[in-house]
Structure 1
Amino acid sequence: MNIKEAADRLGISARAIRFYEEKGLISPVKQTSNGYRTYTENDIWRLQTIAALREIGMSLQDITQALGEIDQGNQQRLEEYLELQQAVMYAQWVELKRMLDTTQRMIDLNRQDGPLDVSHLHDLADSARRLREARQNWHDRWNYDMQAAIHDQRVQAANGRVPGSHAYKVTSDTGSEIMRATDTEELDQEGEGKTAAHRTNGDTTYPEPSGSRLVELEVGASVGTGTGAGLFNMYENYDEALDQTANWISPVPGEIGLDIGTGTGNLAGKLLERGAAMTAIDQSREMLRTCRTKYPEMHMKLGNFLALPFTDHSFDFVVSSFAFHHLSPDQQQLALQEMQRVLTPRGRICLTDLMFANATARQAYIRQAEATGHAEPLQTIRERHFPLLDGLCGWLEQQGYVTKHVRHNELLHTLLAVPLR
């Protein structure tokens, strides 16, 4: 068929078809006799696909990539593009809902008896602007796509379970080597992973050699240096904390759960094993691919804390581990609101993360790190936003939850919030 017939059949303009051709999205055959384009059924199918993707707001660049995945029969990659677009639309929807709420609050203020204090409207507008910017300004400064392949090894290494030839090295402050282990047996000679570095395992504490620090984990574990309070280790007590989270959630078989910032799915996997129907969400495609390899039966989606790509009241519980601290304080508030939105009225929240008990504890930790001259913990605190536990509990309790928490080490806590019946 010619371009007019194709346009009439599809319900789009001939100009739009020419535009898609100029962008390289379609390549109709030209007749040798007169140079007119001839559109085959395959061209019509492709144009229908382009129109469908444009209908959901996908950019031409993303459509080009999506069509390439379709041509190669890569359904998984196509799904990722669709989910990414869905996440964008949910973010717009969440922002629109917030704007509607702010407008209604302004209307309510205007209806109050007495003269309107316009400063209240200004305050509402400033608050709305700040939260909008907080939602828009988050980005992955740590490049978790690049870290996905070694994430589980990092966690194992940080807990003294380094497989194979990955090295774990502890040196003294003078630089002399105290211990170097190159296989699991050397690291785990006494059954539970006792190493030269400070670790807590159950009720037993293994002290770090005086004046030493952990300076290298060749699998790339995220660690800091020792302070007076002990070794700073992002993933210390990792398994203990995940088990605590799973125990406190204690899902009834068939309950629907959401793990936000799932990474490679270690926490979601524990809940899946207990009979929950788990959905895992992460902003990293590569993390989700690793998670899918480990747990093919789990439902996974691209997305983040600030605009969860789900309808209201979709889940019986929400969990997150070692991810919440990537958000700024304003973003953490938005994330809590989003968790509350997607939960059923009786839905519960469990967060496991590095937190300070309160502002006083945070200042004491910083002063101690400064006094000992350890720069890495200070840099980590500046790069990440470890929340204040008392602040989280206070906000959740104001929203009608009862809370409890447990401390796994100096910074790592698990917090459970259950709505009042």
Structure 2
Amino acid sequence: MLIKEVAEKLNTTARSIRFYEEKGLISPKKDEENDYRYFTEKDLLRLSTILALREVGFPVNEIKVLLEDPSMSIQQYLNIQRSALYEKWIEMRDMIETIDEMVDRTTEDSYLPKDFYALAQHLKNLKSIRKNWTDRWNFDQQASDYDENIKKQGFSFNVHEGYDQALARIVEKTSLQPGNTCLDIGIGTGNLGSKFLQDGIKVIGVDQSEKMLEKCKEKHPQIETRKGHFLALPILDHSVDAVVSSYALHHLPDEEKVIALEEMTRVLKPNGQICIADLMFTDKVHREKVIADFQAVGNQIAIECIADEYYADRSLLTNWFSNCGYQIESYQFNRILGMIYARRHK
């Protein structure tokens, strides 16, 4: 297909297509004799993804990073488009909610300009947090041998002690019926989400790592995989019966954990359930005691591992759930692994 045909088909211009070629986003084949560009169906899919991302405001340099793999599958291209659109939609929703609150405050006698500034600053911070989250642990590189590296015993500090017990407890506690939808956030290779499949439950797995999603799909083709992360879930409002997660929330600082819980609540149906098993302490006192115990025996590896992640304070999470009207149960499997189960009342 020639460039003019492509431009007409995608409702763009030949000039725009040449621009994206100059920037290295697309590389159509050229005829050596007449220098004409010839576009394949794969080129069209890549170009349509570029146009969709540009439409929602992504700069060219960010698109280039997103599409750095030229051998991406159709599903990967569509996954990237969906994830980007959801992020933009969530951003627009935040803006609308902030404006609504500003409108409400203008009718109050206590209105102050500083209130507007505070709301605007909150919106700016929220946008920055969602946009700038990065995977500093590089899970794409871990995907191929992730399952083999889950060691459940041994080591001077074993974060996966109790792993199987925790996953089984999530499935046992999360009461679902055939036909229900379960969202697994940070699904990785599907070790948790796949346990729901045998009961006729639809599982949607969200992960920011393309390679993890590929591995999950390879192991469990029945799972619907979507690219995304805790802070911008590619899921419609009130559309899942349960949200589960294991060994993933500890990659977020406490401020971002709260945003993640808000996102889980957004996608959850009335009377839905949330169940999270993760690296966490019962409270601040428990954290200090565990670290002190490791210091007493000279286990520097354990101390460094805890410092490298964002182990949760379980009391902060349960307080948030309680304030938002959830019925809560919590468990501690061992000194670093805990679980929270929360059922929504409305």
TM bin, normalised by shorter chain, reads: 0.7 to 0.9
Residue of structure 1 aligned with 2:117, choices 118, 122, 130 = 122
Deviations 1:152-180 (A, max 9, x none): 2222x324xxxxxxxxxxxxxxxxxxxxx
* Deviation (angstroms), 1:333: 0.9
Q: Secondary structure at the match of 1:300?
A: strand
Residue 252 of structure 1 pairs with residue 181 of structure 2: no
Deviations 1:327-346 (A, max 9, x none): 11111111111111111122
Distance in 2 separating the partners of 1:265 and 1:247: 17
Residue of structure 2 aligned with 1:26, choices 25, 28, 34 = 28
Query: Over aligned residue pairs, what C-alpha RMSD do you find?
Result: 2.9
TM superposition score normalised by structure 1: 0.72
Distance in 2 separating the partners of 1:239 and 1:64: 36
Distance in 2 separating the partners of 1:9 and 1:148: 37
1:323-342 alignment runs, 5 A limit: 323-342=248-267
Distance in 1 separating the partners of 2:3 and 2:229: 42
Match of 1:306 in 2: 231
Deviations 1:172-192 (A, max 9, x none): xxxxxxxxxxxxxxxxxxxxx
Residue 369 of structure 1 pairs with residue 291 of structure 2: no
Deviations 1:240-270 (A, max 9, x none): 1111100011321111111000111111111
* Deviation (angstroms), 1:86: 2.1
Distance in 2 separating the partners of 1:234 and 1:290: 22
Residue 16 of structure 1 pairs with residue 16 of structure 2: yes
Match of 1:158 in 2: 152
Q: Secondary structure at the match of 1:309?
A: coil
Distance in 1 separating the partners of 2:345 and 2:6: 60
* Deviation (angstroms), 1:384: 1.0
1:14-413 alignment runs, 5 A limit: 14-19=14-19, 22=22, 25-27=27-29, 29=31, 43=39, 49=45, 52-57=48-53, 59=60, 61=64, 68-69=70-71, 77-114=73-110, 116-155=111-150, 157-159=151-153, 214=155, 225=156, 232-413=157-338
Consecutive unaligned residues in structure 2, runs of 5 or more:
55-59
Deviations 1:357-382 (A, max 9, x none): 11221222233333443222222222
Aligned residues: 337
Q: Secondary structure at the match of 1:308?
A: coil
Task: Judge conservation of contact 2:282–2:332 (CA < 8 Å) in 1.
Answer: no
Q: Secondary structure at the match of 1:380?
A: helix
Task: Judge conservation of contact 1:25–1:64 (CA < 8 Å) in 2.
Answer: no
* Deviation (angstroms), 1:395: 0.6
Q: Secondary structure at the match of 2:270?
A: strand
Q: Secondary structure at the match of 1:266?
A: coil
Match of 1:186 in 2: none
| Structure having the higher Rg | 1
Task: Judge conservation of contact 1:50–1:63 (CA < 8 Å) in 2.
Answer: no
Q: Secondary structure at the match of 1:391?
A: helix
Distance in 1 separating the partners of 2:28 and 2:238: 42
Distance in 2 separating the partners of 1:319 and 1:235: 18
Q: Secondary structure at the match of 2:243?
A: strand
Q: Secondary structure at the match of 1:352?
A: strand
Q: Secondary structure at the match of 1:234?
A: coil
Counterpart residue identity of residue 125, structure 2 = R
Distance in 2 separating the partners of 1:7 and 1:398: 53
Distance in 2 separating the partners of 1:348 and 1:6: 47
Consecutive unaligned residues in structure 1, runs of 5 or more:
160-196, 198-213, 215-224, 226-231
Task: Judge conservation of contact 1:148–1:286 (CA < 8 Å) in 2.
Answer: yes
Task: Judge conservation of contact 2:3–2:39 (CA < 8 Å) in 1.
Answer: no
